[in-house]
A and B are shown apart, each in its own frame.
Chain A
Amino acid sequence: MDLSSINPTLLLASLIVASTPILLAALGELVVERAGVLNLGVEGMMITGAICGFAIAVNTGSPFVGFIAAAMGGALLALLFGVLTQFALANQVASGLALTLFGLGLSALLGQGYQGIKPPPTNSLDIPFLSDLPILGPILFSHDLMVYLALALVAAVWFVLNRTRAGLILRAVGENHGAAHALGYKVIRIRIMAILFGGACAGLGGAYLSLVRVPQWTEGMTAGSGWIALALVVFASWKAGRILLGAWLFGGISVLQLNLQAAGVAIPVEYLSMSPYLITILVLVIMSADKSRAPGSLGRTFHASD
C-alpha cells in the first residue's frame, strides 16, 4: 500500500468532476420535488441523457451539441412521466420505476454500436492567471464549462426558489396543491414544467458521465448515480445549497475509494466499490430524523375534483 501516491490536489480536482453528474441530476430532482412531484425515474433519464449526448457528440463531433441533445432526451423521457402522472393520474412511484426500467432498455438499444468509441474531448477552460495558480488553479479553475454551469445552476435554483415570485408559486404548488389550485395557479402546467426541467438536468448529468467523467459508453454505466441523486435531495433537506455539499461528499467518497483501489489498500476492491452505496444509506438514516422539510404534497396525485 502506498498512500503517498494519492495527490491531494488531483484528488480535490477530480472530486469536483466526479460530483458534477449527481449534482446536476439532484438539482433537477430538487425542483421537481419542491413542486410536489416524486420522480423516481432519475436513473432512467440520466442514462438516456448519457447515450443521447454520447451518440450526438460522436456524430456531430461537438460535445456542446451533445449536451444539448442529452438535455432534450432527458426532458423528453420526463415528459412521458409527466403525461403519465399529471394527465393519466398514475401512481408516481410506479411511474418513476417504469421510467427507469424503460430508460435502461431504451439506452441499451440506442447505444448499440457506440461501445468502445472515444467521444470528442470536452475542453477544459484555460482562464488566464487563475488556472495557473498553484493548488487552487488545478482544483478550481481548470475544469470544463459544464462544471461551472452546474455551479451556476445551484445559485440560480436557489435564487429562483427563494427570491422570485415564480419560485414562490412553485413551492406553493408543492406544499399544498389544493390551495394553490384554489388561488388560480395552474398546478398541472407548473408541475409539467418542473418535471421537464428535472429531466433536462438529469440528461445533462448523464451526458457528463459519458462525455467527460468516464468518457465512453457502456450499458448501465450510470450504476445507481440517479438513485444517489434522489438520496441527495433527502440529504439536502430539499435545499439547493446543501445539494452542493452533498454532491461534493459523494463525489469525494467515490474518488477516494477509486484512489484507494489504485493505491492497493488491503481492503478488497469489492468492499471499496460498495462504500458509496453504504454511505448513502448511512446518510439517509441520519437525515431521516427530520421529516418536516419534505414538501407537503410530495408524491400525491392532484386532480381538480378532489
Chain B
Amino acid sequence: MFRIEKRPQPSRLWTYLTPLVAVVITMIVGGALFAALGKNPVEAIRTIFWDPLFGEFSFYYRPQLLVKAAPLILIAIGLSLGFRAGIWNIGAEGQYIIGALTGAGVGLAFYPLEAAYIFPLMVLAGALGGWAWGMIPAVLKTRFGTNEILVSLMLVYVAEQLLAKMALGLLRNPDGRGFPGSRNLQQYSSAHNAEIIAGTGVHWGVVAALIAVIFAYILFTRHVLGFHIRLTGQSPKAARFAGVNPARLALICLGLSGALAGLAGMFEVSGPAGQINIDFNVGYGFTAIIVAFLGRLHPVGILLAGLLLALTFIGGENAESNLGLPAAAIQMFQGMLLFFLLAVDVLTHYRLRWKSAEVA
C-alpha cells in the first residue's frame, strides 16, 4: 500500500517535468483514442504535431502557428495574473469578444478615412472594451462579494448575444447586400492589422504577446505587485498582514486580464479574422485556460504552452481534412491535456511512499 506525503517544499524538478509528462501521457492516450476512432494513431499524432512544423507544407503552417498562438498567449498571460492570486477569471472568451467589438467599432466609425492614428485608437478601444467587461465581475466581487467565476462565465453568453446583435445590426456592412457581418477590415488599410514582415505571420498581436510575456516576467520577478500576487495565492492571510489590499488586487488582476483578452480580440478581428461576424469567436478564451495551467502560470511556460496548443489547433485542422478526424477529438485532446497535467501535478507537492499497513 502506498500513501502520499506532503513535501516540505514543492519539488523544483517536478514543477518543470509535469507539463512534459502530461503532454506525453496525453499523446499516448490520445493515440489510443484515435485508434479507437479507426485512425492510425502514429499517423494522426504525426499529422498533428510533426507535419505542421517539419512536413511538406510547413512553410505555410509555421506562420499560422504564430497567428494562432498570439491570442492564446496574450489571454493566458492575463489569466495567469489572477490565477496565481486565486482570482478566477474564466470569462476571457467574453472579454475577447467585447474587445473585438469595441476595436472594430472604432475602426469602422472612421471608415473610409485613411489616417495613421486610427489603428492605435483601435488598439486602445479594444483594450478598454476588454477591461470594462472584466471589471464587471471585479467590481461585483469587491463590492458585493459575488463569485467572479460564475459572473465572468455568464458574461461570455451575454457577449456572444451582443456579438450576434452587432453583426446583424449596428456593425453590419451597409454594402453587404444584407448578409450578416461587418465590413472586412483587411480591405481598409488604416484599420488592417497587417503582417509586419510579409510571409512570417508576425502581426501586431504577435508583438503584443511577446511584450506581454516580458512584462509579466518582470512583474513577477521584480515588481512589488507581482510579489503581492504570489503572496496572496500562497497565503491570503499573510498577504493581508503584509498590507496587500485584496479588493485592489482583484480589480487589477481582473482588469488587466480583461484588457489583454480584449487586445487579443481586437488584433484578431482586424487581422486574421478580418470582420465581426456571428461565428467570430472560436474558443481561444477557454483554450487559454489550458495554456495558462500548462505553462505553470509562468510567462515563459505560457509562451511555450501557447505555441503547443496553437499546434494542436493547426494540426487538428489538418487531421480533420486529411484523415477525417472529427474536430471534437482535438477539443477532447486539449481537455485531456489539462486533466493529466492536474493529475501528474500531485508529484510536485507530494511524494509517494510505499508503506506497509500499520495500526494507527
Chain A interfacial positions (CB closer than 8 Å to B): 40, 80, 83-84, 88-91, 93-95, 97-99, 101-106, 108-109, 111-112, 219, 223-224, 227, 230-231, 234, 268, 270-271, 273-274, 277-278, 280-281, 284-285, 288-289, 291, 303, 305-306
Contacts and interface: CB of A to CB of B under 8 A. Distances in A.
B343 to A, nearest CB: 5
Nearest to A89: B346
Given A80-B339, A303-B4, 10 more contacts: A84-B342, A88-B345, A90-B342, A93-B88, A97-B338, A98-B342, A105-B335, A281-B146, A284-B147, A291-B145
Contacts of B158: 274, 277-278
A305 B161 CA distance: 48
Given A90-B343, A277-B158, A288 B165 contact: no
Contact of B154 (A84, A104, A109, A281): A281
Contacts of A285: 140, 144, 146
A289 B326 CA distance: 46
Interface in B79-110: 88, 90
B52 to A, nearest CB: 20
Contact of A230 (B145, B146, B150, B342): B150
Interface of B: 4-6, 88, 90, 140, 144-147, 149-151, 153-155, 157-158, 161-162, 164-165, 168-169, 286, 289-290, 293, 326-336, 338-339, 342-343, 345-346, 349-350
B261 to A, nearest CB: 16
A306 B301 CA distance: 30
A288 B335 contact: no
Contacts of B331: 101, 104-105, 108-109
Given A40-B149, A80-B339, A90-B342, A289 B5 contact: no
Nearest to B335: A102
A74 B334 CA distance: 20
Contact of A93 (B144, B149, B157, B326): B149
B256 to A, nearest CB: 19
Nearest to A38: B149
A10 to B, nearest CB: 26
A271 B157 CA distance: 11
Contact of A280 (B4, B154, B161): B154
Given A84-B339, A97-B289, A303-B4, A281 B155 contact: yes
Contacts of A40: 149
B161 A274 contact: yes
A84 B153 CA distance: 23
A91 B332 CA distance: 20
- Name B's interface SS: helix
Contact of B342 (A95, A106, A231, A306): A95
Contacts of A303: 4, 6, 350
A298 to B, nearest CB: 11
Nearest to B88: A93
B5 A105 contact: no
Contact of B151 (A90, A109, A271, A281): A281
A105 B332 contact: yes
A247 B164 CA distance: 27
Contacts of A273: 161
Contact of B145 (A80, A95, A288): A288
Contacts of A277: 154-155, 157-158
Contacts of B164: 270
7 contacts: A97-B90, A112-B326, A112-B328, A270-B168, A271-B165, A281-B146, A281-B154
7 smallest CB-CB distances across A and B, nearest first, come from: A102-B335, A105-B332, A108-B328, A105-B331, A270-B165, A90-B342, A109-B328
Most chain A CB inside 10 Å of its own CB: which residue of B6, B144, B153, B168: B153
A224 B91 CA distance: 12
Contacts of A95: 342
B338 A106 contact: no
Contacts of A281: 140, 146, 150-151, 154-155
Contact of A224 (B145, B153, B333): B153
A101 B334 CA distance: 8
Contacts of B330: 105
A284 to B, nearest CB: 5
